[in-house]
Every structure is written in structure tokens, then in C-alpha cells.
């Protein structure tokens, strides 16, 4: 049973979440609600929850401000937020769960199920990654979490050479020579990394522009990366790629 606290500054959101949890999440027992950072901190210290549904932006601060008050976080977290591109990207990098307002019932059920399965060791790794990414604007230092069946990898985005998609799976090729296969589709990583120098050269390939060695026009056109991988370039992507080359060299 997950002893749960809802922290959100909108009363109707708290009520809605409470009703959905009661109706569809039998493994959850709601033990408290709070309307901000200060009251949320007090509720967590008093009740010691297993799970916190945490709003990101509240009147007296952010959910991140609240988490910084804890030296050791021994509870699981599902963020709840209206669309906030920066916050959501940071959360995605860390592989923590989040729900968009208005919260969908099925999304809530799925997030709670995942929270029930995750270990506290995994939570710590993900929160450490989130903290690192929120504190730095230097993309050279930003990291993402890659989770496989057996391991959790903490990877610098600059250490990713390219990502190859195959349906629901992606293979991440790292500078170390290691390949990590995760059950996440390529579009997810495209949306996450396209602002950090990654380019969808082909329906199955996302490449790090900094890792391109050369572009060859033969055989329909392909790029050679600095790990000697040859990545095909879709016909409709050639002009866009050449334009990017010109910008990088100017």
C-alpha cells in the first residue's frame, strides 16, 4: 500500500486527484494534502509518505524548492504540472514520472503502477540527475537516465554518438563504445534532444551533429560518424542537414 500525499496549490486539482486515486488506485491510501511548499514540507515530515504527487509551480515556490529541503529523499515522486517546457524536459532527462493537467485517469493509474514497482535506489539516481540538470545551463554537463531491465545508466548527452530506433526500442551508441538498448521509441529522444545538437537524419536514426566526421553523397547520401558508423540520410533531410553544416562552419 502506497501511503500518499498530494501537494498542489489548486484545491480543485487536489480534490480531483483524490477522487481518481480512490476510484482507480486500490494500492494507494491518501494520508494528507497540502497547498504549497511550506505546508507540503510539514506534511511530508509529519506523515513520512511512500509517494508524493507534487505540483511544480505553486504560490510559495516550486516542487523543486521543496525537494531541495531534504538531504535524503525516501519517498517516490510523481510531478503534476501544467505544460512547462523547461520543467518537463528536465523531468524527462531524469526519467521521473509526470502528469499534465488536467490529469487523465489512465495516465494517473499508469504512473502509480510504475511508482509501486520502482526501487528507492532508482528514485535517488533519477533525482540526482534532475538536480544536476536544474543547476546547470551547460549542455556539456547535462545528463540523462537510461533504464534497462538490469541497469540504470547515467549518461552525459555529449557522450551519445547516435540513437537508432526500432519500433518501441532504441539503441543508444555511446562514446565509450557501449551500446544501451532501452524500451523507449526514437521520437521520445528526438523531442528530448533536438535542442541539444541532435538531428533526425532518417526515420530510424538520431545523430549528434558534433560527432559527424563527413557527409558522403554516394549511395543516396549518408553521414559517417566518428565511431565509423554510416548513417543513411533521408532524401527530404539532405538540404536541412547541409544547411546545418553551413551554420556550424560559419
68 and 184 within one domain: no
Q: Residues of the chain whose pLDDT is less than 70?
A: 248-250
User: What is the C-alpha R_g of the chain?
Assistant: 21
- The answer to whether 139 touches 132, Cβ cutoff 8 Å, is no
CATH number at residue 101: 3.40.50.2300
27 and 125 within one domain: yes
Query: pTM, whole model, 2 decimals?
Result: 0.82
Which candidate, 159, 130, 166, places its Cα nearest to that of 145?
A: 130
**Cα–chain center distance at 53:** 17
CATH number at residue 191: 2.40.50.1020
Number of domains in the chain: 2
- The answer to whether 241 touches 208, Cβ cutoff 8 Å, is no
Which pLDDT score is estimated for 51? 97
Could you identify the residue written with the cell 531491465? 149
Which pLDDT score is estimated for 248? 67
Amino acid at each position: 500500500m502506497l501511503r500518499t500525499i498530494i501537494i498542489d496549490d489548486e484545491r480543485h486539482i487536489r480534490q480531483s486527484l483524490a477522487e481518481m486515486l480512490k476510484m482507480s488506485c486500490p494500492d494507494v491510501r491518501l494520508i494528507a494534502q497540502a497547498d504549497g511548499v511550506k505546508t507540503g514540507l510539514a506534511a511530508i515530515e509529519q506523515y513520512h509518505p511512500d509517494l508524493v504527487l507534487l505540483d511544480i509551480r505553486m504560490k510559495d515556490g516550486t516542487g523543486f524548492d521543496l525537494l531541495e529541503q531534504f538531504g535524503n529523499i525516501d519517498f517516490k515522486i510523481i510531478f503534476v504540472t501544467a505544460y512547462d517546457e523547461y520543467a518537463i524536459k528536465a523531468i524527462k532527462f531524469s526519467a521521473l514520472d509526470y502528469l499534465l493537467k488536467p490529469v487523465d485517469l489512465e495516465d494517473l493509474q499508469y504512473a502509480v503502477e510504475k511508482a509501486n514497482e520502482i526501487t528507492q535506489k532508482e528514485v535517488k539516481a533519477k533525482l540526482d540527475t534532475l538536480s544536476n540538470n536544474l543547476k546547470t545551463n551547460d549542455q556539456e554537463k547535462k545528463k540523462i537516465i537510461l533504464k534497462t531491465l538490469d541497469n540504470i545508466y547515467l549518461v552525459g548527452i555529449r557522450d551519445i554518438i547516435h540513437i537508432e530506433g526500432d519500433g518501441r526500442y532504441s539503441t543508444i551508441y555511446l562514446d565509450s563504445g557501449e551500446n544501451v538498448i532501452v524500451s523507449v521509441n526514437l521520437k521520445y529522444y528526438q523531442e528530448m534532444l533536438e535542442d541539444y545538437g541532435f538531428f533526425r537524419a532518417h526515420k530510424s536514426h538520431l545523430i549528434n551533429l558534433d560527432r559527424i566526421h563527413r557527409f558522403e553523397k554516394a549511395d543516396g547520401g549518408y553521414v559517417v560518424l566518428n565511431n565509423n558508423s554510416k548513417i543513411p540520410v533521408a532524401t527530404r533531410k539532405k538540404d536541412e542537414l547541409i544547411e546545418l553544416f553551413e551554420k556550424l562552419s560559419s
